[in-house]
């Protein structure tokens, strides 16, 4: 035979080069995926905290609009804050921050309402919008919720709203 027969196999050198390229490609892809997953989880955690603050504010506003009077309120801007209002049925609704949890209940704040909330504060307002000096003068309540975000250092989100009480 004058013509050499060609072998249809790969050489050891080709195998090593292919494995080196594949391992470099897999390493690059796994690093990219790890970064993407970490970012996704960080934004998910931040979104959960922000939604907890918005949900808490909506709940308090909804209940305050049906309340007849503020019975007790923490000092203006004090955190942890607490608030007690009376409904037309005579029930006392209570909100109180304990650590990073906000509790709620009828008569006493026994049930977990939202977590983690870093600060919760209330300010009683007169009908003119000025800060009220006593519970009898309160016609509206300003609610402020702060949550710290995980993805960046020293970053927080503040949710602030004002709810007017029913007219007497």
pTM here is 0.76
Q: pLDDT above 70 covers what percent of the chain?
A: 93
Which two tokens mark 56? 């808490």
- Structural domain includes residue 19: no
- Structural domain includes residue 25: no
- Structural domain includes residue 1: no
What integer pLDDT is reported at residue 1 of this predicted model? Answer: 47
Q: Is 9 helix (H, G, I), strand (E, B) or coil?
A: coil
- Structural domain includes residue 41: yes
Total of domains in the chain? 1
Q: How far is CA 76 from the centre of its chain?
A: 23
- Structural domain includes residue 159: yes
C-alpha–C-alpha distance, residues 33 and 160, integer Å:
37
What integer pLDDT is reported at residue 126 of this predicted model? Answer: 93
The pLDDT of residue 84 is above 70: yes
C-alpha–C-alpha distance, residues 4 and 158, integer Å:
80
- Structural domain includes residue 57: yes
Which two tokens mark 12? 């050891």
Q: pLDDT above 90 covers what percent of the chain?
A: 64
Buried b (16+ CB within 10 A) or exposed e, 119-145: bbbbbbbeeeeeebeeeeebbbbbbbb
Q: Which domain holds residue 155?
A: 30-164
Average pLDDT across the chain, whole number = 89
Which two tokens mark 68? 């007849």
């Amino acid at each position: 035979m004058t013509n050499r027969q060609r072998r249809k196999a790969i050489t050891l050198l080709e195998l090593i080069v292919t494995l080196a390229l594949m391992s470099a490609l897999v390493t690059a892809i796994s690093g990219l995926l790890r970064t993407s997953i970490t970012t996704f989880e960080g934004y998910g955690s931040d979104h959960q905290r922000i939604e907890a603050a918005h949900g808490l504010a909506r709940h308090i506003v909804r209940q305050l609009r049906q309340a007849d009077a503020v019975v007790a309120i923490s000092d203006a801007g004090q955190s942890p804050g607490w608030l007690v209002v009376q409904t037309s049925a005579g029930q006392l609704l209570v909100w109180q921050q304990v650590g990073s949890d906000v509790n709620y209940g009828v008569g006493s704040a026994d049930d977990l309402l939202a977590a983690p909330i870093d600060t919760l504060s209330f300010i009683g307002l007169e009908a003119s919008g000025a800060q009220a000096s006593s519970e009898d003068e309160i016609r509206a309540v300003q609610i402020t919720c702060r949550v710290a975000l995980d993805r960046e250092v020293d970053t927080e989100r503040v949710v602030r709203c004002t709810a007017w009480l029913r007219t007497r």
